[in-house]
Amino acid sequence: MSKITVIGQGECEFDGQFSMLEALDESGFDMPYSCRGGNCGACAVKLISGKVEEIQSPIYEPNDDEILTCSCIPMGDVVLEIP
């Protein structure tokens, strides 16, 4: 199981949910999102540490230091920051 830490909000476990957004949502985190499909960019957060894998091919291209929580799963422990 991977640990997802959101700076300023706390941490939760990733336990095979569809996406990081789903895991964070289930744990009651107040994460920004809209489409959940990689189209809008609303869920973009800074990846401070750790690695992620894309589980769908997003249309929206986040900045180099950002990831889309709706379109990724963690590969080990990750630390995120909401911009």
Q: Which one, 35 or 79, has the nearer CB to ligand FES?
A: 35
Q: Please report how close the Cβ of residue 75 comes to ligand FES at its closest, in angstroms.
A: 18
Q: How far is CA 10 from the centre of its chain?
A: 14
| Contact letters for ligand FES, residues 16-55 (x by CB under 6 A) | -----------------xxxx-xxxxxx------------
| Phi-psi sector, 21: left (phi>0), alpha (psi -120 to 50), beta | alpha
Q: Which one, 2 or 69, has the nearer CB to ligand FES?
A: 69
Quickly tell me which residue has 């909401």 as its tokens: 82
Q: Please report how close the Cβ of residue 62 comes to ligand FES at its closest, in angstroms.
A: 8
Sheet holding 2-6, edge to edge: 10-14, 2-6, 78-81, 44-49, 66-68
- CA dist., res. 83 & res. 76, Å (int): 22
63 touches ligand FES by CB under 6 A = no
Q: How many residues bind ligand FES (CB under 6 A)?
A: 14
